[in-house]
Structure 1
Amino acid sequence: MTVSTERLTSSGVGSSSRPRARRRLQAPGLPWILPALVLSVGLIYYCIAYTGYISTLNWDGASPEKISVGFQNYANIARDPIFWRAIWHTVAFFVVTFVVQTVLGVVFAVIMHSRIRLAVIYKVIVFVPVVLAPAIMAPVFRQIFAADGQFNWVLEHVGLGFLQQPWIGQESTALPVIMVITIWQWTGLTFVLYYAAMSQIDQSLLEAARIDGAGNLRTLVSIIWPSLRGTTVALAILGAIGALKTFDVPWLVTIAGPNNATQFLGTYIYQMTIQLAHVGYGAALSIVLLVIALVMAIILQLVGREDTRPEGRNTRSKGAR
């Protein structure tokens, strides 16, 4: 036995675990992720750090003179009424667009799963606005919602002429118009994601619900909607970050007006940095925007995360019994 063991060891059979252990310590996927790692660390985080540095300056972005002001730009932001108005617009914009897009997306997905005729054509029609560039559609919407535009013309010819007004020319209606345009543009994406999520639901659950006498509404509320929780959380995170970064539609349609009625953080950063050359203040606004986006993403992720703890599962199982 001793001789055979020595032979096995000397032949390399007994030492085969050493290379295997060394292989475990290596990172076989490192060459594949290295370009993305270099890009993230070397470019993205460098830019964030450089923006943070610029936010402590009073600088126009061109002159060689850079005056350090510390955290004065952030203190000015806290006292800036336009900033807080942009925050309020962002919150209202996110809540309204997310709720409406969620409802429409679920409804469209349920309808498409009901085996209607020409479903492929309907899918294309609903999804087409997603692929259209806002720069192309902005002049169209400016014309539609102008004081002498097609929307007021339709209202007049259907007997609702008393509702005519300059939709994008007054503060009370400019922001709702931006919301309508955004809902029209992104409902197709919400629909596609919900449609794909519904395709993953176990059909046996739906059949069992029908056997138990559950109607369509009861099945939708009790089975389909809870199964879409992960998709809804993902859409909420994307919607929140998208609302914080909103720039193209309000700028191209209303130029953040009238009287800052459609001012968002993205448009305000552009005005401060490019138009007014307050680069330090614009950089401070960008850092604030980044922090708000991270906080909102974390909060939405924590709120939407399913309770996977053992005690949580036990509690749900007892409640089910």
Structure 2
Amino acid sequence: MTVSTSERLTRAVGSTSRPRGRRLQASGLPWILPALVLGVGLIYYCIGYTVYISGLNWDGASPDPLSVGFKNYLNISHDPVFWKAVWHTAIFFVVTFVVQTALGVIFAVIMHSRIKLAMLYKVIIFVPVVLAPAIMAPVFRQIFAANGQFNSVLSHLGLGFLAQPWIGQESTSLPVIMAITIWQWTGLTFVLYYAAMSQIDQTYIEAARIDGAGNLRVLWSIIWPNLRGTTVSLGILSAIGALKTFDVPWLVTIAGPNNSTQFLGTYIYQMTIQLAHVGYGAALSIILLVVALVMAIILQVVGREKADR
């Protein structure tokens, strides 16, 4: 029985394509190996090692650390500074997220209204995002000092009675830190909302205009529901960012006065580096990791439920 030329070609191609396919699949491993080593070999190893250290009474240098089991975690549960840091983190997250969301939406709506010099305004709003906190910290310390520029402005406006040492007293130091953070990150919120608004189908807005809807009605009933996904993402980022907050409170107030701007990040640094309680600091780090994961999951689930509704 004779085999046609086309059949021979088909068999030849099929026989040669299989080994090549196997070689291509095998050669893909080196491309993912760096990410695999980084994700599994480094990150998860460090987490596991931190869990191990959290069960020790260790200063980070002694060759004979003492195993204490869960004692560090029990001590944390009775630590008033820890609970103060948790309270500050919760307030910080709620205030900064709400204010940044409101300002971001307002700025994005204004920029979509085709105002003049819109590009200049976008740059001005976004510039604080790219400024390093280490550069701006001395500026803010000077501005909010007892004899700083903020009190001088209040005096020139006839509001001198409001002047006070803003970062030198417990009642106002935390609001100052929140104000600085809002100033720093509102630009990022604005950019994300501006991009999300660009994806909204304009026919919906035009239909609402024809039905007589005003600006506030369009914003509340059409624009805001379409920004839900962006809001959930920003909520997760803000929650994790609040838990990781370190640079601004440390560089501006050094977590003071009297722990009034103490956060989990600054407390971990103090216990681990300054006081050399490495085991205690590791236990605080594990608690921080667990809280961050729980908050991210909760915000993600709540966002999905609202989207389904």
1:156/1:19 CA distance change after superposition, 3 Å? same
Q: Distance in 2 between matches of 1:11 and 1:240?
A: 59
1:56-135 aligned at under 5 Å gives the runs: 56-135=55-134
Pair 1:204–1:28, CA change in 2 (3 A)? farther
Q: How far apart, CA to CA, are the structure 2 residues paired with 1:235 and 1:33?
A: 29
Distance change in 2, residues 1:306/1:202 (3 Å):
farther
Q: Secondary structure at the match of 1:268?
A: helix
Write out per-residue CA displacement over residues 137-172 of structure 1, whole angstroms, 9 at most, x where no aligned residue: 001100111111111111111111111111101101
Give the C-alpha shift of residue 32 in structure 1: 3.1
Secondary structure at the aligned position of 2:245 is classed as coil
Paired position in structure 2 for 1:51: 50
Q: CA deviation at 1:30?
A: 4.4
Cα drift, residue 33 of structure 1: 2.6
Q: Secondary structure at the residue paired with 1:12?
A: helix
Cα separation, partners in 2 of 1:221 and 1:29, compared to 1, 3 Å: farther
Query: What residue ranges of structure 1 are gaps of 5+ in the alignment?
Result: 317-321
C-alpha contact 1:147 1:167 (8 A) present in aligned 2: yes
Query: Percent identity among equivalent residues?
Result: 79
How far does residue 38 in structure 1 lie from its aligned partner after superposition? 1.1
| Cα deviations by residue, 1:200-223 (Å, 9 ceiling, x for unpaired) | 111111111111111111000000
Matched ranges for 1:206-245 at <5 A: 206-245=205-244
**What amino acid sits opposite 1:174 in the alignment?**
S
Q: How far apart are 1:15 and its partner, in Å?
A: 6.4
Q: Is the 8 A contact 1:244 1:289 kept in 2?
A: yes
How is 1:172-211 mapped onto 2 (pairs within 5 angstroms)? 172-211=171-210
Partners in 2 of 1:44 and 1:212 — Cα distance? 55
Q: Residues 209-240 of structure 1, C-alpha deviation per residue, up to 9 Å, x if partnerless?
A: 11111111100000000000111001000000
Q: Could you tell me which residue of structure 2 aligns to residue 319 of structure 1?
A: none
Determine the structure 1 residue equivalent to 2:301: 302
Q: Secondary structure at the match of 1:233?
A: helix
Instruction: Quote how far apart the aligned CAs of 1:12 are.
Output: 2.2
- Displacement after TM superposition at 1:19 (Å): 3.9
Against the structure 1 CA distance between its residues 29 and 99, is the aligned structure 2 distance closer, same or farther, given a 3 Å change threshold? farther
TM-score normalized by the length of structure 2:
0.93
The one-character-per-residue Cα deviations of 1:22-71 (angstroms, maximum 9, x if unpaired) are 76x95885443321111111111111111111111000001112100011
Q: CA deviation at 1:3?
A: 7.8
Corresponding residue of 2:32: 33
Distance 2:112 2:223 in 1: 12
User: Kindly tell me: are residues 166 and 11 of structure 1, through their superposed partners in 2, closer, same or farther at Cα, counting changes over 3 Å?
Assistant: closer
- Once residues 2 and 208 of structure 2 are traced to their aligned partners in structure 1, the CA distance between those partners, rounded to angstroms, is 69
Aligned residues: 308
Question: Offset at 1:14?
Answer: 11
Counterparts of 2:177 and 2:28 in 1: how far apart (Å)? Answer: 45
Kept in 2, the 8 Å contact 1:94–1:239? The answer is: yes
2:139 is matched with which residue? 140
In the alignment, structure 1 residue 275 sits paired with structure 2 residue 274 = yes
Closer, same or farther in 2 for the Cα pair 1:11/1:150, shift >3 Å? closer
Partner SS state of residue 301, structure 1: helix
Give how far 1:269 is off: 0.3
CA distance in 2, matches of 1:227, 1:145: 39
Instruction: Please say if residues 8 and 14 of structure 1, whose CA atoms lie closer than 8 Å, have aligned partners that are also in contact.
Output: no
* Structure 2 unaligned spans of 5+: none
User: After superposition, where does 1:257-276 map in structure 2 within 5 Å?
Assistant: 257-276=256-275
Alpha-carbon distance in 2 for matches of 1:161, 1:181? 22
Does the 8 Å contact 1:9/1:15 carry over to 2?
A: no
Aligned to 1:150: 149
TM-score by length of 1: 0.89
Question: Hey, what does 2:169 align to over in structure 1?
Answer: 170
205-214 or 131-140: bigger deviation = 205-214
- The DSSP-based 3-state class of the residue aligned with 1:259 is coil
Residue 289 of structure 2: aligned partner: 290
Structure 1 distance, partners of 2:136, 2:232, is: 29
Pair 1:307–1:135, CA change in 2 (3 A): closer
Q: Which amino acid aligns with 1:119?
A: A
Residue identity opposite 1:200 in structure 2: Q
CA distance in 1, matches of 2:275, 2:10: 77
